[in-house]
Structure 1
């Protein structure tokens, strides 16, 4: 499609080079639409959608080529410069990499015939069960006419057929595709996204619906205006962070899931005035939160409480969650809590680990959550590096292996923050703070 059809008004022109086709010009001219009727608006919307698809495909092809030159870590870092969150940036980088093996699919996206989301589904399936050329083209044709939800089912069926001789049942193949993600969304909200095989998914739905129904009956008695979505969210929090108070082998819900005991409508009670309703048979789960709180010695009061990521919380909220969670202070220097061990010992102390979590907040390489990370000596212990807080950073196991086995180095950026640098990219050796050769850890 000629993007020049979006004409009437100012235009933005960018020139690029498409693989195998020489020089190409992408000409997007944005039309004025005030005063247009519905029919004309629909026409422009369809044209704009086609242009968006082409640009999405072209961008993905560019990122794939950039990944060939600089590596996938560099692609993800570049995507972050678009203003994308870490989760979206990682997803875009993975899509650009997977579609390099499916040139026809990528070309269909570049031409605007299919969306980049359709292409991504095919790329992910190809990684699990390779597509032949003919199979790829067949799915591209189907992708043109099916919406994304339908197409996911089509690709799943195709994958099952391609893997028919791998000795696995369809349920076992579904289990392989299970996934769970927790990441920061907009406006300081936290987003959970999970996909389960059918059996596990039904168990989750049964447990969630049971507790949500109990909360609905409680809301009906109390006159609460909590919405269905809010009840589901509260039920999910309860199921994840709390546990049955009188759990035993007989505590199985009516659907047989065993995830949450089910009683009658009287088995639910409200635990505070803010609507944090949980079942009376549900008790707090052991949870640990790391918070930073200033203490005003003049007034003798706590002030400026915040979570590990810097999100401020009210002191009243801190008191409330203290009932359900163990509160651990962020310790940087305190009597009896040494943060500088020198060469006395190799392993970090509990206080040092807490200080690292409060300072780095996540893996300095990939952003993995701090609780899954390990302490790494910037100047390695075997090279006489001390076990001091200034010589330690948080690395997830995967990034830790990159340093010790693949030549990655911990360096400081312009702001003085520790970052992980790939050996495949130019490293300012004067600022490198650790060895880049693989030696014994």
Structure 2
């Protein structure tokens, strides 16, 4: 049906070619805007702007503030940081000539020495073919690690700052088991209650964490909540305090055979239900050995879990290794009831006691979170945007800038991979030869 055949009350349709042109033009503008977005994100991450009140990463901040799924946010942070050392790709991205999908693929293999050849391919090949090529390059350049033949062993000690330092060396098979346990613990530690096809669990395919400490703490928290099978003092978290167990009455509180605890740290320790307290009289003898009675009853804890479901700090959402926190500290007379209890993950629980944010109980099981400046922290900040402003800002992007110069030929991934690796190897040898010649 052409325009002349349309009913009088039906508006004339735009030519399909005009719609196609606008779609491609907007795709280029979106690519250019995304490049700017990732540039700002990389700077924000480098300056740790997300760490103001102990969010776990820039990805968690992005998921909270920008409404992005955690999986997508992590990938955007990775790409943003990778592009900072790839100037040619970054320039083409900022000009809207390569899409975010292509840049995401390129950053998995590109280096400052190989980005030019990869960029030429990206400008000509569709995104699907580029993904295949990158997967082939990843497989071809992967090398197995050399086995570690050193003897296994380790040690631990408290440093001058009171931190526990662990040093360990595992045999390969034991190390594999340890990394598997870390990976599982990290998955449980970072699991959130987000569900649905658009919010997949980001940790199900994640490798072992590069920083093992949070996962190790999660593993320790799991084991320490069970009844100890041995009577050794080292099997429990023991805290030596004064007669009343409060910071004011116990200025010299300390871990068993460990460093002293300041008032702030002692408050955090006393908020943990798995700690055993050893109370001492004025002259030092032990006068009481007990386990904390601050733990909510099973019924109360079940009600708390049904109400909160996850860590209640805005932007977190973790559902594993949660603590029932007294908003008004138990040691300061806070009651153990639903109006004074909220669920926090271990990391945010420690951050709260470190003074990085505050929680106020408003009554009727409502709580307010605030940053260090007293500003309220919202659970879902509002977003705003203007498509017309985007078009004006990136008007310099050509309508066909993002369209690849592809003639329809198929991709021989094995051949393309082999040619790229050979060319890169020759270029590397040439650089080494030039370096030696200049040094001579």
For the criterion TM > 0.5, the same-fold answer is: no
Q: State the structure with more CA Rg.
A: 2
Q: Which protein has the bigger strand share?
A: 1
TM-score (norm 2): 0.41
TM-score, with length taken from structure 1: 0.41
